[in-house]
Amino acid sequence: MYECSNFCKLSVLLLLLLTPSLAMGGDDDDDADSCEPTEGRFRCGLGDCIDADQVCTGSDDCLDGADEGPWCRDSCPPAMGCQQECMPTPSGGTCYCRRGYGVSGSDPSACQDVDECATHAACSQLCANTPGSFSCSCAEGYSYRNPMGGSGASNSPGQGMCYASGSESTKLFYATKNKVLQTSSDCSAQEVIN
């Protein structure tokens, strides 16, 4: 049976510290933190991600230095024709789009509006798509509340909710094995119904 030496154990520990996604049993690339060049992100050689403005800066921002290289200086010439942004990379430029826009499938240098309202979590009730953004609002009888402050519409998914308007507070009913209980929406008052 193979036994790992102290050097081997130290190497594995160092690898896990440098790549936390391996320790978690998967990769850290999800929709909220994508590492796609078309979204202004750069994947380093060890798998970590950095923003486009950290690539080809003359300073190693990747742990392995993969964000710097000989092509950095001339990788985004005007002839490349990026509609919005160009990320210089050590292997040449990559076009990407500002937030609220996505790279067109037919033309990788063009950007098109993303319909945030088509995603399932953009707004709790009503959603209006606008070029490069969106706004949330509520149906009649409801008011918009943003936990980050303010009562106006939001353009950040999951930032606000619509609550029933009126003087009577919302009540939540729930059941346990042998009781039906009711509580206020802020869980400050609870009473047994049966």
Domain boundaries, the chain: 33-113, 116-164
Q: Choose among 59, 90, 64: nearest CA to 76.
A: 90
pTM: 0.53
Burial of 144 (0-12, 13-18, 19+ CB in 10 A): buried
CA-CA distances (angstroms) from residue 98 to 75, 82, 102, 111? 19, 12, 8, 9
- Rounded CA-CA distance 190/185 in Å is 10
- Identify any residues that bridge with 144 across adjacent strands, giving them in sequence order: 162
The pLDDT of residue 77: 87
- Each of the 194 residues of the chain gets a pLDDT tens digit; together they read 344 444 333 333 333 334 443 333 334 434 445 788 778 889 998 999 999 889 988 899 999 999 998 778 788 888 889 999 988 888 888 888 998 898 888 888 999 999 988 876 778 888 899 999 888 889 998 888 776 655 555 555 556 788 887 756 677 888 888 888 888 766 676 777 76
